[in-house]
């Protein structure tokens, strides 16, 4: 137990214990009963998510790093021993624990749909079981954020979107992964400087009301900031009165112009953003400064952005925080991790409303006229369906080691952009659409039906 | 930038950069303009939170650890330099950056209300500014979770509540702090083993459906687990058929009884929990095993628990995950951090709907008949109001060092329990109640009004 006061952070050293207790008790029991043959688990989003026409894969890199690095330290094992639950045999086993399995996954930035296996883990049962909690924690969150951010980016119709969410994200790691996932889904960057350093994401910022208040008057504050950051000044103009703020910004823009500099932009964070942004633009245009960019912020989401633009708001970019960083209208993702195959063969689960599809799988995406036409979930060893197709799942880890060189975030972001262009028009909207067709291959459907008959009658 | 694949975790070493970019640009500007006199910022929840009759203080320890530990490493400074934004003077300043300020705060586990300063920071302006992002990130989240968990605990009417949220929490840190905050608010413990080790929180677990499926049949699985964990077996009975599962559990309970052991309990995670739990209890009672505890889980929240109990569900404890760990009905907390005093005197902010109260403050809680009667927000140096009162804010940090020995979580948890008993009956419910009265002292009210007149006319 850490000393007071404790940051209580998860570190690479202690990450093995970021696990639901039952994963470890089950693992101990598997060890005692010799139940450690290879098993395959599917991680998938169980049900359609309200207001999400599509989902965006994100978080795989975090998962792979975890699988490569998971260990149980002496401190962790001493703590587990203190619980008086575990066998010494199991604690001994944990000392040299490594993840040695094989992982297939849908790459980050790909568009996918409920029921499609996002990640498939095949490993000795104990290893596959122990990693469940972390995989769900990571993928549920990053998929949720990427899928939400994609909607915000869609609503912005080509204008920039910047992640302003760190202060409302759920803790320190959420601030990192919200920046990461929203960048994959098309955001320009983030205000989170550490995410900038760790992931190479562009960082953005303006100024706070307290900055303006720290000077004797608004114009002095604007002048000071423009002098300090001549190429990067975005002045916050709504601390006192937005139109007066715009005129102060204009004064600064004129002074900068005399030195051959351009004021980059202003930000409006409160009030009626349509009325204010139009009036501010008019002030700038009439004064011959049409290039001054207008950033809008203040509890924005995809619906508000769509509404602002529909009502003629003048905006070059949006800062979006709380609603994107918490996926406020759907703040959890129902990803689950289910046994689908083991040494006894195919497996299914029968609990009411919680059915699973058996076996190791591939998802085939059928294209028509360069657009997604339908997806088919098939058994891994089935041939692809007829027509132009591509497989969603690729092998990303073998014997506990990452396969291939790994992808930079920029490649994932580009993948998402390309896939978005291939998505049927009716799904490429923030409005609710009919579900995209995800079918089962005839062989998988027949197998599933047969398995349910067997399980139900056993 | 980290190598692929990266866990992207926040560590004590890099935590200084977990900051919105604008905090650093503003800080650089303050340094250049000699604006580094002491300033005071209030952190408070701006508006009433829907469906929250009261808020629970949580997260202060995390904040204090951060304030004691925040540094900027060489790597961080090199990254900042690469952005080509900052002055060398500022980067030099960051090399020896320490937080040296004074902090007043409402202790963890205390009940508080919107507008009341939860944390007040007085420090050289740059220090106070740079820590804003982390303080908001931490306190918004932990207050949100504690306030939500308090409702779940209330709904459970004395039955146990266990945090089962790690797989749906927003990333790794959220899983840690959700466990911490919900424990303060009365949960029995958590499934998160690392939170158990780091914070000394009791850990709980049962088994997963995949465990049951890993054996040839349900009874074999139950027998194996009971043999492995004779004192801690909670059998999950809904993998195939809940009533059949209960009979298998009963078989195991009988076999254990022959060896002088007691089966601890069963868990039901799906189906109609009222019907199932009643039927299961009846099976146990009729067989002479009334002591077998029944745990219910499956997308529970305070409303569902209240409804289950109202409809006569048989439950000894509840496992609550997603809805508590994400505060699903209100997944963000509107905490803000506002300048209230500096070398120029009292400060207020005027933006529409975003007003602040000036000055360093104290909150006095007036008691009547040992119950909360009303709170009065006053200036720090005002005498307490008449009657039986206690102050909510205490000095917790001086010159950047924690004051006093620090509190164990158990003390915070006890404080919450005591305060909950002092809360007016009509607020001690999950139903919406009239707001608790939070007044301003006559002096603070007069000062605020006067300041607004001055600012508005300036």
Give φ, ψ of A365 to 5 degrees: -100, 120
CA distance B185 to chain A (A): 17
Report the C-alpha gap between A383 and A379 in whole angstroms.
9
Give φ, ψ of A368 to 5 degrees: -140, 125
Query: Taking 90 as the threshold, does the pLDDT of residue A457 lie above it?
Result: no
Residue B319 shares a structural domain with residue B393? no
Q: A60-75: per-residue pLDDT in tens?
A: 999 999 999 999 999 9
Residue B235 shares a structural domain with residue B184? yes
Q: Could you say which of B325, B349, B378 is where a domain stops? A: B325
CATH code for position B282: 3.20.20.70
Residue B310 shares a structural domain with residue B411? no
- In chain B, what residues touch A134 (CB-CB under 8 Å)? 172
Report the C-alpha gap between B358 and B364 in whole angstroms.
17
Tell me the sheet residues that pair with B40.
Answer: B122, B341
Report the C-alpha gap between A364 and A362 in whole angstroms.
6
Report the C-alpha gap between B331 and B168 in whole angstroms.
13
Does the CA dihedral B111-B117-B123-B127 come out positive or negative? Answer: positive
Give A92: exposed, middle or buried? Use CB within 10 Å, 0-12, 13-18, 19+.
exposed
Task: Convert A54-86 to b/e letters by CB count within 10 Å (16 or more is b).
Answer: bbbbbbbbbbbbbbeebbbbeebbebbeebebb
Residue A443 is predicted with a pLDDT of 96
Radius of gyration over every alpha carbon of chain B, rounded to an integer in angstroms = 26
Q: Do A9 and B6 touch (CB under 8 A)?
A: no
Q: What is the mean pLDDT of each run of 10 residues along chain B (458 residues)?
A: 85 97 97 96 94 97 98 98 97 98 98 98 97 98 98 98 98 98 98 98 93 93 97 93 97 97 96 97 98 97 98 98 98 95 86 77 97 98 96 98 94 98 97 95 94 72
Q: Do B10 and A455 touch (CB under 8 A)?
A: no
Query: Taking 90 as the threshold, does the pLDDT of residue A3 lie above it?
Result: no
Report the C-alpha gap between A94 and A91 in whole angstroms.
5
Residue A324 is predicted with a pLDDT of 98
Complex-level ipTM beyond the 0.85 threshold:
yes
Residue A279, both tokens:
């009036």
Contacts of A49 (CB under 8 A, 6+ apart): A55, A114, A147, A330, A333, A334
In a domain, B4, yes or no: no
In a domain, A324, yes or no: no
Q: A188-215: per-residue pLDDT in tens?
A: 999 999 999 999 999 999 999 889 988 9
In a domain, B10, yes or no: no
Residue B213 is predicted with a pLDDT of 87
The end-to-end CA distance of chain B, in Å, is 47
In a domain, A186, yes or no: no
Residue B159 shares a structural domain with residue B263? yes
Residue B175 shares a structural domain with residue B195? yes
Residue B139 is predicted with a pLDDT of 98
CA distance A365 to chain B (A): 27
Report the C-alpha gap between B20 and B346 in whole angstroms.
26
Q: A295-313: per-residue pLDDT in tens?
A: 999 999 999 999 999 999 9
Q: A230-257: per-residue pLDDT in tens?
A: 998 999 999 889 999 999 999 999 999 9
Q: Could you say which of B302, B325, B348 is where a domain stops? A: B325
Residue A27 is predicted with a pLDDT of 97
Q: A74-89: per-residue pLDDT in tens?
A: 999 999 999 999 999 9
A127 within 8 A of A104, measured Cβ to Cβ = no
Residue B212 shares a structural domain with residue B224? yes
Q: Do A402 and B4 touch (CB under 8 A)?
A: yes
Report the C-alpha gap between A148 and A154 in whole angstroms.
10
Task: Judge if pTM exceeds 0.95.
Answer: yes
Q: CA torsion A73→A75→A78→A82, rounded to 10°?
A: -130
Report the C-alpha gap between B133 and B144 in whole angstroms.
16
Q: B335-392: per-residue pLDDT in tens?
A: 999 999 999 899 887 655 567 899 999 999 999 999 999 999 999 999 999 999 999 9
Closest residue of A to B36, CA-based? A214
Closest residue of B to A135, CA-based? B167
CA distance A427 to chain B (A): 26
Partner B contacted by A410 (CB < 8 A):
no
Partner A contacted by B41 (CB < 8 A):
yes
Using H for helix, E for strand and C for coil, what is the string for chain B? Answer: CCCCCCCCCCCCCCHHHCCEHHHHHHHHHHHHCCCCCEEEEEEEECCCCCCCCCEECCCHHHHHHHHHHCCCCHHHHHHHHHCCCCCHHHHHHHHCCCCCCEEEECCCCCEECCCCCCEEEEEEHHHHHHCHHHHHHHHHHHHHHHHHHHHHHHHCCCCEEEECCCCCCCCHHHHHHHHHHHHHCCCCEECEHHHHHHHCCCECCCCCHHHHHCCCCHHHHHHHHHHHCCCCCEEECCCCCHHHHHHHHHHHHHHHHHCCCCCCEEEECCCCHHHHHHHHHHHHHHCCCCCCEEEECCCCCHHHHHHHHHCCCCCCEEEECHHHHCCCCCCCCCEEEEEEEECCEECCCCCCCCCCCCCCEEEEEEEECCEEEEEEEEECCCCCCCCEEEECCEEEEECCEECCCCCCHHHHHHHHHHHHHHCCHHHCCCCCCCCCCEEECHHHHHHHHHHHHHHHHC
Residues B179, A90, B228: CA angle, nearest 5 degrees? 85
Residue B309 shares a structural domain with residue B209? yes
Q: Could you say which of B325, B360, B395 is where a domain stops? A: B325
Residue B234 shares a structural domain with residue B270? yes
- In chain B, what residues touch A18 (CB-CB under 8 Å)? 166, 172, 175-176, 192-194
Q: Do A455 and B176 touch (CB under 8 A)?
A: no
Give φ, ψ of B29 to 5 degrees: -65, -40
Count of domains for chain A:
1
Report the C-alpha gap between B325 and B183 in whole angstroms.
12
In a domain, A136, yes or no: yes
In a domain, A288, yes or no: no
Pairing mode, if any, of strands A401-402 and A394-398? antiparallel
Which domain, by its residues, includes B383?
15-145+330-457
Q: CA torsion A25→A29→A32→A33, rounded to 10°?
A: -170
Residue A267 is predicted with a pLDDT of 98
Of the residues B214, B232, B241, B295, the best mutation for testing chain A's interface (the one with the most A CB atoms within 10 Å of its CB) is: B214
CATH code for position A83: 3.20.140.10
pLDDT mean over A405-416: 96
Give φ, ψ of A96 to 5 degrees: -115, 20
B223 within 8 A of B212, measured Cβ to Cβ = no
In a domain, B7, yes or no: no
Pairing mode, if any, of strands B111-112 and A335-342? unpaired
Q: A340-398: per-residue pLDDT in tens?
A: 999 989 988 765 556 789 999 999 999 999 999 999 999 999 999 999 999 999 999 99
Residue B128, both tokens:
């106070």
Residue B202 shares a structural domain with residue B158? yes
In a domain, A62, yes or no: yes
Closest residue of B to A230, CA-based? B85
Closest residue of A to B343, CA-based? A214
Q: Do A1 and B199 touch (CB under 8 A)?
A: yes
Closest residue of A to B82, CA-based? A197
Residue B273, both tokens:
């929990």
Single out the residue of B163, B169, B198, B211 nearest to residue B320, CA to CA: B163
Partner A contacted by B22 (CB < 8 A):
yes
Q: B130-147: per-residue pLDDT in tens?
A: 999 999 999 999 999 999
């Amino acid at each position: 137990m850490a000393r007071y006061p404790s940051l209580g952070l998860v570190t690479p050293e202690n990450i093995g214990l970021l696990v639901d207790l039952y994963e470890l008790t089950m693992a101990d029991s598997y060890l005692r009963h010799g139940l450690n043959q290879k098993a395959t688990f599917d991680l998938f989003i169980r049900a359609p998510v309200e207001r999400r026409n599509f989902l965006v894969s994100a978080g795989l890199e975090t998962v792979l790093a975890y699988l490569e690095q998971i260990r149980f330290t002496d401190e962790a094992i001493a703590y587990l021993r203190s619980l008086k639950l575990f066998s010494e045999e199991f604690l001994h086993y944990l000392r040299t624990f490594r993840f040695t399995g094989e992982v297939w996954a849908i790459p980050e930035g790909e568009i996918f749909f409920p029921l499609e296996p996002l990640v498939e883990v095949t490993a000795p049962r104990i290893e596959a079981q122990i990693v469940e909690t972390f995989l769900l924690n990571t993928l549920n969150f990053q998929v949720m954020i990427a899928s939400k951010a994609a909607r915000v980016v869609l609503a912005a119709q080509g204008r920039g979107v910047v992640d302003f969410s760190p202060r409302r994200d759920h803790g320190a790691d959420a601030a990192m992964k919200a920046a990461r996932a929203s960048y994959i889904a098309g955001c320009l960057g983030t205000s989170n400087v550490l995410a900038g350093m760790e992931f190479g994401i562009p960082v953005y910022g303006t100024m706070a009301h307290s900055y303006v208040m720290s000077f004797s008057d608004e114009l002095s504050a604007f002048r000071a900031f423009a002098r300090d950051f001549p190429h990067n000044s975005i002045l916050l103009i709504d601390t006192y009165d937005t139109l007066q703020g715009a005129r102060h910004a204009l004064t600064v823009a004129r002074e900068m112009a005399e030195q051959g500099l351009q004021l980059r932009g202003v930000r409006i964070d409160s009030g009626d953003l349509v009325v204010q942004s139009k009036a501010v633009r008019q002030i700038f245009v009439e004064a011959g400064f049409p290039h001054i960019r207008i950033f809008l912020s203040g509890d924005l989401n995809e619906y508000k952005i769509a509404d602002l633009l529909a009502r003629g708001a003048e905006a070059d970019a949006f800062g979006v925080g709380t609603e994107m960083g918490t996926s406020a209208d759907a703040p959890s993702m129902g990803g689950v991790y289910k046994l689908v195959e083991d040494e006894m063969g195919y497996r299914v689960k029968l609990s009411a409303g919680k059915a699973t599809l058996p076996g190791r799988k591939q998802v085939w995406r059928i294209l028509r006229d360069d657009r997604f036409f339908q997806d088919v979930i098939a058994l891994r060893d089935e041939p692809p369906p007829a027509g132009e197709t591509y497989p969603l799942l690729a092998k990303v880890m073998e014997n506990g080691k990452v396969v291939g060189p790994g992808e930079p975030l920029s490649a994932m972001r580009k993948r998402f952009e390309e896939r978005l262009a291939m998505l049927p028009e009716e799904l490429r909207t923030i409005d609710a659409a009919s579900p995209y067709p995800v079918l089962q291959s005839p062989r998988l459907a027949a197998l599933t039906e047969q398995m349910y008959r067997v399980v139900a009658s056993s």
